[in-house]
Structure 1
Amino acid sequence: MTESGDGSLDERLRIFSIVLIIFLTGFLFRVETSKLHDLSVDEKAYLTDEHGLPYMYELDSYYNYRVSRNYLMNGHLGDSLRDGVPWDSYSYYPPGRPASYPPVIAWVSTRVYRVLSIFMDISFYETCFWLPAVIAPFAGIAMFFLLRKYSGDLAGFIGGVMTVTAPLYFSRTLPGFFDTDMFNILIPVMIVFFLTEAVEAEDRKRSLFCIVLSSLLILLFSLSWRGWPYILYIIAVSCILYLSWRAIGGKDWSFPAIMFSVLFLLSITFCGLLNAWSDVIHIINPLNIMNSTSATGGWPDVYLSVSELSRPSFEIFVSAAGPLNLGFGVLGLIMITSVMLRPPMRDKHLGGFNVFIFIFSILWMAVSLLAYYSSVRFSILAIPPLTFISGVFLGLVFSYMGEVESWMSLMGHGAGTIMVAIISLLVLSVSVVQASEITMKPFINDDYESAAAWIHDETPPETVIVTDWSYRHYFTAASGRPVLFDGGSQNTKRAYWIFKAFATDNETLSLGILTMLTASGDRAIDLLENYTGNTADTAEILNGILCVDRETAAGLLTDEYGMGHEFTDELLSATYAERRPFIILTTEGMKYAGYWYFYFGDWNFTSKNTIPVYHVETVDVSQIDRSLKRGLWDGKRPHSFIISDDRGIETISVDNSSKFSVIFLPAEGKAFIIDSSFNDSLFVKLVLLGEETEHFRKIYQKGDVTVWGVR
C-alpha cells in the first residue's frame, strides 16, 4: 500500500521528522560505542590515543587516513610524484607503488575537514575518526525514500532504521572505522532510486534526467570502491529481462531500450574517462571481482590467511547480515512473488511495485547473497537488497492489516491499526537492540603508539620496518617509515621470502633475505624468475645463495647453475646490494599467526605443501608441571618442552622421533604446540620466546611490541 502525499506542510514535516529520527538513530548509537562502556578505566586508557579517542578499530583505516592526509597536504593520494604519477613510497618498499586508490574517501574527508575547521578546533585525524558515523545514517535515509515509493512512510521508516542498525554495516561504520564501507550501501541505494525513477516517470525528459543522475552515481561508486561493477551487472541483466518481458507482452520497449542504452553508454564513458579504460575492460568479465584474490603466479597464495576472504560459517552468515534482515528478506521475497503472480492482489497491495523493480529486487538479492556466501568480504552487499525486500514485505503486511477491521470485527474498531503498531514496534525494537549490543575493541593500543613514536624519533628516515603485513598500515601512518609489504600488497612473491625469513632455522639465510628485500626489493627475484622461467628453480637458487657470502654465491651461480658472468654480476648486485637500515617489529598478536608463517615459509614448490603443526592452548601452572613430570602432552610424547619464564629459557628433550614440541609461556598462561622442525626458527626465537640471537638484538620493548635491530 503506497502513500502518496500532496506536498503539504504536514507531509513535509512528517518526512523531515522521519529522516531526522533515522539519522539520529544511526548516528547516536554509533557515537555511543566510542565510549568503550564494557571496559575498565585502565583498559579504556590503554586503548585511547592522545586525542582522547579510541584507536581506530581496524588497520585499513590507518591506510585510508594516510592517503587522505596525503591528499589534504599534496593534492593527490601519494606522498610524492614519480614521473607525474602519485606515488606511495611507504607501501611495498622498495620501490613503493602507485598511489592508485578510490579517491572519494579522501575527497569527502578533506572537504568536510576544511568546512569544520572554519567553525571549530578539530584535527584532520578527528574528522576521519567521526566521519563514518556521520555518513552511514544517510544510507538509511536513502533507503527510506526508495521504500516509501512502494510501501509508504511507515515501512520506509522501518526499512531506514533496519539499514542503519544492520549488524555488519553498523560495526563497519562506527567512529574510528574509517573505510569505504560507509559508501557501499548509500551509493548503490541512490543508484537504484534514480534508476527506478527513470523507469517509472511518465515524462521522458525526467526519465533521461534520472538516467544521467544514475550514471553519475555509478561513476561516484567507481571512485569509492573497487568492487563497484557488481551493481552494473545486476542492472544490465535486469534491463535485458525487463525489455524481454515487454517485448513478449507486446508492450512498447523502444524508449526503455534507448534509456538503458544511454545509462550504460554514459556509465562506461564516465568511468573510462575518470578512472582508466582498463576498468572498462575489467567490467566486461564479472568474474574479475570474484577472482581478485588469486595468487601471484607460482608463489604461495597469501590470501588464504585472510579471514574476510573465506566463506562464512552459517552462524556468521546469519548474524552479520542480521537475523531480522535476512529472515524478513527471504520470507518477504517469497510473499512478494506470490502476490506479484496474482494481478488482482498485486494491484491491491503492491500497486506501485512494477515488474522492473520486481526483477531487479530478485537479482539484487540473489547476486548479493551468492557473493556473500562465497566470501565474508562481500557480506555488506547483501544488506541493502535484504532491507529493501524486508521493507516492501512490511508494506505488504500493513496493507493486509488495513483490511483487518472487515474480517476481524470481533476485535472491534482499530484492530488493524493496533496490529500494525505492534509489528512496527517489535521490528524496530529488535533492530535497535541488535545494534546496541555490538561492541568493538580497537586493534591498536598504547604499546603500538609508543613503538611508532620511538621508531619515528630514534631511527633514520630511510629505515624499513619488517613486520606482519596486518600491522603495517598503522606503522607507516604513525611512524613515517616504509614497510616491506602491507594489507594492500600482501599477496605477492615478496611475501614468501618474508615468511621464509621467519620460518627458517638458518639465521644467516634470514638475514640475507631481509637484507636483499630491504635494499633492492623484488629485483633479484624478478631477474632470476625471468632467467629460469620457473618459480621453483628461482626459490631454490636464491635460498642457496642468500645464506653464503658473495664470493661463494658467485661460484654456485656459475659452476653449479651454469650462469654467465654478466648475469651473475647483475644478480649479485641485487642480492648483495648495499645494506639499508631495517628493523624487525614483533607483536603479541603475531604469536597467533604462526601457522601461516610456517605454512607459507616452508612452501613446497614442486609437490603438495605440508600442513604444519601449530595451535595455541590456555594452560595453568599445574598443567605445565604435570606435563613436565609425565613427559606427555595430550597423552603423547613431544619432541621437546621449551619453557620461557623470568628465569630464562629452558629446553627439555623428550623424544627425538616426535613431530611436535610444546612451548610454555607460564606468565601468559599459554602453550604453543608447534611442528618440531621449527623449534629453532627465527619466528620461535623472536616472536614466541623474545630471545636475542646471533644476528638480531632487542633495541626496544614495551608491552605487546618489541623492536629488533641487526647486530
Structure 2
Amino acid sequence: MDKQKLKTIAKAAAIIIIIMAFCFVLRAHAADISIIPDDMKATYQDSDGLPYFSEMDSYYNLRMTQDYLDHGYFGDTQVNGTTVDMHRSSPDGVNTTFDPMISWVTVGLYNVANMFHSMSLKEVAFWAGAIVSCLAAIPAYTIVRRVTNDYGAATAAIMVTLAPNYFSHTFAGFFDTDMFNVTLPLFIFLFFIESIRSDNPKLRIIYSILTVLTVAIFSISWVGYTFYAALLVLMAIVYYVLAYLLKMDVIESVKNYDSKFQWFINQRMLCSIIVIMVIGIIGVTLISGIDSVSSTISGLLSLLSLQSAGGGTAVSGFPNVFISVAEMQIPTLLTGGISGAFLANSQSVVNGIGGIVALFAALATLYLYTSRLWKLRSVSTSIEKHTGKPSKSKRKSAAQKKDENNRFNLAIKDLTSLGGSDNVNKDKRLTLLYFTVLMVWTISCIVAVTQGTRFIMTLMIPLGLCVGIFVGCAADYIKAKVEDERRLFLICLICSFLVSFPVVEQVNFLSGIILFVVLVIVSAIAVYGGKFFKESDISLKKTAAVLLITLALISPTVCGAYQTASQVVPGASDPMWNSMQYINGTANNTISSDAVIESWWDYGYLFEIAANKQTASDGGVQSGDRAFWMGRAMTTSNLDLSKGILQMLATTGTKAGETLNSYNGNNSSQSTDILLHTLALPKSDAKNMMMNNYSLTSAQADNVLQYSHPDNPKDVVFVASSDMLQKAGWWTYFGTWNFAEQNSTSLQYMVSTTTANITPGHSGTIPLLDENGISFNAVINRGANGTNNTTGQVQAVFDNNNTTVEVNNTTYNPLKASNLMVIEDNYLTKNESIHGATDGNYTLFVLGNNNTYNAILIDNKLVDSMFTRLFLLGGNGQDQFQLIHMDSGISLWKVNNNASSTSSTNLTNSTG
C-alpha cells in the first residue's frame, strides 16, 4: 500500500473520529439538564447522580438488560422453555419477545467499562445510545466519499448522525433501540452498494454476505428491520426495470463466459440480490421457521393501517391505542412559518430533514441523478479514449487518479469525455445504481412518513446522503468552474447568513450576530485578499466558499441538536420514583407482594422497575380494550364502576369480555355494555341482570362472573399524577369510546402554567389559554375577610388591547365557566354555580395556599369523575379508594376491597 493511499485513509479516519466525537459531545450535553434551575436539578437526578431517563421505554430496556445480566434470559421466569415477564399485563404476564441487541451491546459496554472504572449497569445504559448512534458517521461518510469528496462525506456524516428525529431519540439518557435505527441501515446499504460496485467477484460475495449479516443483526435490534429487507428487493426490481426501459446492458450474455457460475458471479446486481435473498431466507427459516417469512411480509403490509382509529387492536371494535402515541401522529410538513423553514427540529417533515435549504439540496441531487441517467441512456459505448496528455501543472499522482477512479464523480464530468466503452458502461451502471438506491429509498420513506412522525428518522437517512452529495458536487463545481470573485463573495455572503441564522434563533442571538459579522469579514479577506497569500492549487477564496456552503447546510442540524440537548427534561423525578419505592417497601403491610399498579399506560415501565410490581398496562401492553377500561375507570362518576374495573383488570385481565364474546359471536360492543352495567353491582345483582336483561344462562353468567367479580381480588394501587391532567384528552377519548359510531370525543383539564399572588381584598388574573389572538384568563377576587368569600370567573379578552371579546355585540367566551370550586389551604371552601353563567360548559377550579393561587378549567363532564374526585378533591365523600401515600404531584390510592357497593340493580349510570 503506497504512502498516498495510507495518507488518504488516515485523513478519512481522522475526519470520522472528529465527527463522532463532536456528535457525542452534543449528545452528552443532555446530561446537564441545563433547562432546569440549579436548585431543582437534584429533584430530577437519581441515586447515581444522573438525570432520570428522559422517556419510559428506557426503563423497560434497562429491566430486560438487568434480567439478562442477572440470570441470562429476558423476563422473570421460564415455563416449558418460554420466558415470561410477570411484571407486565396483569394477571398472567406476557411471553417475553424482546429484541436482544440493545442488551447485548449494553452488557458488552458494561464489561468493558468496568475493566477501567466501576460503573453500574444503569450508568452504562444512560450513555449507550449516545455512543452507538455516533457510529452512523462511519457508513454515512464512506458511502458519500465513494461518490464525491471529503466535504460531501463529512456533511453527510453530520447531517445523518445529528438528524433531529434521530438525535432526539439517542442523546444521553435515552436508552432505546433507536440507537440502531440509522447506524445499521447505513451499514446495510454500504455493503449492498459495495457488493455491486466492486470489480472483484470474491469481494462482491463477501459484501453480499456482510449485507445479510447486518440485516440479521438489525432483526434482533428492531422489529422494523423488515422495511429495509424489503427495500433491497424493491431496489433490485426497480434497477432491472429501469435498465430494460433505458436499454442499458446490465446483464451480460452467458456466451461470454466459460461457465454459468462464472457468468452468475459477474452479474453484479443479480448476483448480489440473489445471494442476499437466498442466505437471508435460509437463515430466517432455520432460526425462526418458515412462518416467519410470511409474517415478515404481512408485517410490512400492516404498517399501512397504523392510523386506523378503530383497527389494529387486540379485540375488534375497541379504539386503536396507537393513535394516542405521539410518534404515530401524522406529521405536519413545516413548523414555524417562513423563519422556521430555515431551522431543524423534530416537529415536522421539512424541519426533520434539516430545514428548507437541506431539502432543496437533497432534491437537487435526486434531480441531478435523474437528469444524468436520462442523458446517459443515449450515450454510445463506442466513444474512443482521449489520449491527449494534460499539461504538467494539471497532472495528478497515481494515488490521486486511483482515488478519483474509485469514486463516482457526478458533478462536472462531461458526457463526451467519459472514455472508452468500459468507462461508459461503468458510468451508466453506477448512475443507475445510485439513482435506484436513493430514489427508491426516499420514496419508500415518504410513504412511511404518512403513517407517523417517527418515520421521519428513516426519511432523513437517504436525504442526508443526498445533501452530502450535493455539497461534494458544489465543491467540485466551484473549484473547477467559478473564477469570478464577485460570485464567490456573493456565495460566501449568502452562506454566512444561512450559517448564522440558526445560531440566532436556536442558540444565542448575540452569538449569531457576531458569527455573521466575523464570517463576512473573513470571507472578504479570503476572496479579495489573495495578493497577501501564497497561491496554491486550490485558492483560498474557493476554499472559503466551499467551507461556507458546507457550514450552511449543516448549521441548522447542529443548532437544532444543541437546542434539543439544552431543553431535555427527565421523564421522571424524585416524587414519582420515591412513590414507587414506597410501593416496593412491602414491609409496612399496606400493600401485598402481588399487588397490581394501575394508571394510564405512560409510566408503566417505570412502575415495573421502581416498584417491582405488576402493572395492568405499559408502553408495550397498550391494547384498545385495556385502554378503554382504564380510561372509563378514570372518566366515570360511578366510583363503584371504577373500583370494579380496576379489580377486574388486576385479577383476571380482560377475560370477562373475552368470555362474553364467545357467547355473542364476538360482539365486543354488547359485551362491553353488559360489563358496564354490572361491574358496579354486587355479584348476585350482577348475575340477575346478566340473566334477565341480556339472556345469559345461569352457567354462562357464573362463568363470566368469575372473571368480572373475582372472589379474591388482588390489591390494586391506582397512581394519580399531575401529568395526567394534560393527558386527559387521550384517556377520556378512549374512556368514552362510542362502539356504534367507532369514534369518540376528548374532555380536557386546562391547567394554568403560572400562578398569581393574591392577598385578601385584592384580585388577580391567571392565564389559562392563548389561542388565535384571544386570551382566556381566570379572574380571581378575594374578599377582605373570611376564607369562603373568594370568587372567580373565566374571561376572554383580545391580546392586543385587553378588551372583552364580542361577536355581533354579544360577549364571546367558548370557555365560559358555570361552576366554581375553591380549595384554600387544603380545604374545600366553595362549590357552587357562578351567578349568571349557568350556560357555561366548564368548572373553574381554584387552588390557593399562602396567598398563591393557581387555576384549572375542567370540562363539566369531568367534575364528578373518579380522577377529579381523587386527585383534585382529595378523595372526600367516598370510601372505595384509600389514600396511602402522597408526594409532590403524586398520590397513591389503594382500592378498598372491603367497601360495600352503593349501586343497585336499577342503577343506570349515564357517565359510566
What is the TM-score when the length of structure 1 is the normalising length?
0.93
Residue of structure 2 equivalent to 1:252: 251
CA pair 335-249 structure 1, distance change in 2 beyond 3 A: closer
Corresponding letter in the other structure for 2:843: S
Query: Is 1:646 aligned to 2:665, yes or no?
Result: no
Q: Among 384, 395, 402, which residue is 2:461 paired with?
A: 384
1:321–1:68 distance in 2 versus 1, CA, 3 Å: farther
Secondary structure of 1:139's counterpart equals helix
- Given the superposition, is the C-alpha separation of residues 91 and 277 from structure 1 closer, same or farther in structure 2, using an over 3 Å criterion? farther
| Higher helix proportion (structure 1 or 2) | 1
Q: Partner of 2:597: helix, strand, or coil?
A: strand
Amino acid at match of 1:663: F
Which of 71, 77, 93 aligns to 1:80? It is 77
Q: How does 1:8-87 map to 2 (within 5 A)?
A: 8-87=5-84
Distance in 2 of aligned mates of 1:507 and 1:640: 22
- CA–CA separation in structure 1 for the residues paired with 2:116 and 2:735: 53
- Shift of the 223–479 alpha-carbon distance from structure 1 to 2, 3 Å rule, reads same
Residue 779 of structure 2, aligned match among 621, 624, 638: 624
Cα separation, partners in 2 of 1:161 and 1:55, compared to 1, 3 Å: same
- Higher mean alpha-carbon deviation, 344-353 vs 111-120, is at 344-353
Change beyond 3 A, Cα 1:651–1:700: same
Counterpart selection for 1:166 from 142, 163, 182: 163
Identify if the C-alpha distance between structure 1 residues 220 and 204 changes in structure 2 by more than 3 Å, giving closer, same or farther: same
2:886 match: 701
1:457 matched residue in structure 2: 585
Q: CA deviation at 1:282?
A: 3.0
Letter in 2 for 1:328: A
C-alpha distance in structure 2 between counterparts of 1:57 and 1:602, whole Å: 30
Of 579, 583, 603, 1:471 maps to 603
SS in 2 for 1:652: strand
Confirm or deny that 1:337 pairs with 2:465.
no
> 1:674 corresponds to which letter in structure 2?
I
Which residue identity does 1:467 align to in structure 2? S
Give the 5 Å matches for 1:150-549. 150-247=147-244, 248-252=247-251, 255=267, 256-275=269-288, 277-285=290-298, 286-292=300-306, 294-296=312-314, 297-313=316-332, 314-315=334-335, 316-317=347-348, 318-323=350-355, 325-343=358-376, 346=410, 348-349=412-413, 353-404=430-481, 414=539, 415-438=541-564, 439=566, 440-458=568-586, 459-533=591-665, 534-549=667-682
Distance 2:846 2:795 in 1: 11
Report the Cα offset of residue 706 of structure 1: 1.0
**Cα distance, 1:399–1:124 mapped onto 2, change above 3 Å:** same
> Residues 601 and 619 of structure 2 are in contact (CA less than 8 Å); yes or no, is this contact kept in structure 1?
yes
Tell me the distance in 2 between the aligned counterparts of 1:15 and 1:275. Answer: 40
Give the whole-Å Cα distance in 2 for the aligned partners of 1:382 and 1:274. Answer: 30
User: What is the letter of the counterpart of residue 846 of structure 2?
Assistant: F
Checking the alignment, whether the CA contact within 8 Å between 2:747 and 2:861 is kept in structure 1 is no
SS of the aligned residue for 1:312 comes to coil
Cα 1:290/1:644, change in 2 over 3 Å: farther
CA distance in 2, matches of 1:608, 1:194: 47
8 Å Cα contact 2:848/2:854 also seen in 1? yes
Q: Which amino acid aligns with 2:320?
A: D
Give the 3-state SS of the residue equivalent to 2:628 in structure 1: helix
Partner Cα separation in structure 1 for residue 744 and residue 576 of structure 2: 34
Which segment is superposed worse, 552-561 or 62-71? 552-561
SS of 1:402 mapped into structure 2: helix
Opposite residue 606 of structure 2, the aligned amino acid is Y
- Name the SS of the counterpart of 1:396 in structure 2: helix
Contact 2:647–2:714, Cα closer than 8 Å, also in 1: yes
AA aligned to 1:599 is Y
- Please identify, of 135-144 and 302-311, the stretch whose mean Cα deviation from structure 2 is larger: 302-311
- Structure 1 counterpart of 2:440, which letter? L
How far residue 42 of structure 1 moved from its aligned partner, in angstroms, is 1.7
> Contact conserved, 1:22 with 1:141, CA < 8 A, in 2?
no
- Structure 2 unaligned runs (5+)? 253-263, 336-346, 380-408, 415-426, 488-526, 757-763, 766-777, 783-789, 797-812, 897-912
Q: Tell me if the contact between 1:698 and 1:707 (Cα under 8 Å) persists in the aligned partners.
A: yes
Deviation, structure 1 residue 548? 0.9
Q: Distance in 1 between matches of 2:172 and 2:793?
A: 51
Distance in 1 separating the partners of 2:699 and 2:83: 35
Q: Whole-Å Cα distance in 2 between the matches of residues 110 and 312 of structure 1?
A: 35
User: In the alignment, what sits opposite 1:552?
Assistant: 685
CA RMSD of aligned residues (A): 2.7
The answer to whether the Cα contact below 8 Å between 1:222 and 1:271 also exists between their aligned partners in 2 is no
Q: Displacement of 1:610 after TM fit? A: 4.8
- Please state how far the C-alpha of 1:374 moved relative to its aligned partner: 3.3
1:708: how far off?
0.8
Change (3 A) 1:377 1:406: closer
| Residues matched between the structures, number | 708
1:682 aligns with: 866
CA distance in 2, matches of 1:546, 1:441: 40
After superposing the two structures, state which structure 1 stretch, 365-374 or 39-48, moved more: 365-374
- Determine if the alignment matches structure 1 residue 661 to structure 2 residue 849: no
The one-letter code matched in structure 2 to 1:641 is: L
Higher mean displacement: 285-294 or 177-186: 285-294
CA distance 1:416–1:580, change in 2 (3 Å): same
TM-score, normalized by length of structure 2? 0.73
Q: CA deviation at 1:371?
A: 1.8
CA distance in 1, matches of 2:353, 2:86: 38
Of the three residues 690, 695, 700, the one matched with 1:567 is 700
Following the alignment from structure 2 to structure 1, what is the Cα–Cα distance between the partners of residues 179 and 20?
14
The C-alpha deviation readout for 1:268-295, integer Å capped at 9, x for no partner, is: 3323433454442133243222335623
**Separation in 2, partners of 1:451, 1:569:** 38
On the 8 A contact 1:613/1:660 being kept in 2, the answer is no
Q: Deviations over 1:126-148 (max 9, x none)?
A: 11111111111100122111111
Q: Is the 8 A contact 1:216 1:270 kept in 2?
A: no
CA distance 1:233–1:600, shift in 2 (3 Å)? same
Bigger mean CA deviation after superposition, 666-675 or 287-296 = 666-675
Q: Identity of aligned pairs, percent?
A: 25
Gap runs ≥5 in structure 1: none
Q: 1:625 to 1:434 in 2, by over 3 A?
A: closer
Which shows bigger deviation, 691-700 or 546-555? 691-700
Q: CA deviation at 1:122?
A: 0.8
Is this contact kept in 2: 1:168–1:322, CA < 8 A? no
Which range moved further: 519-528 or 190-199? 519-528
Deviation at 1:528, TM superposition (A): 0.9
8 Å CA contact retained: 2:67, 2:75: yes
Describe the shift of the 1:251–1:512 C-alpha distance in structure 2 as closer, same or farther (beyond 3 A): closer
Residues in 2 aligned to 1:686 and 1:276: alpha-carbon distance in whole angstroms? 51
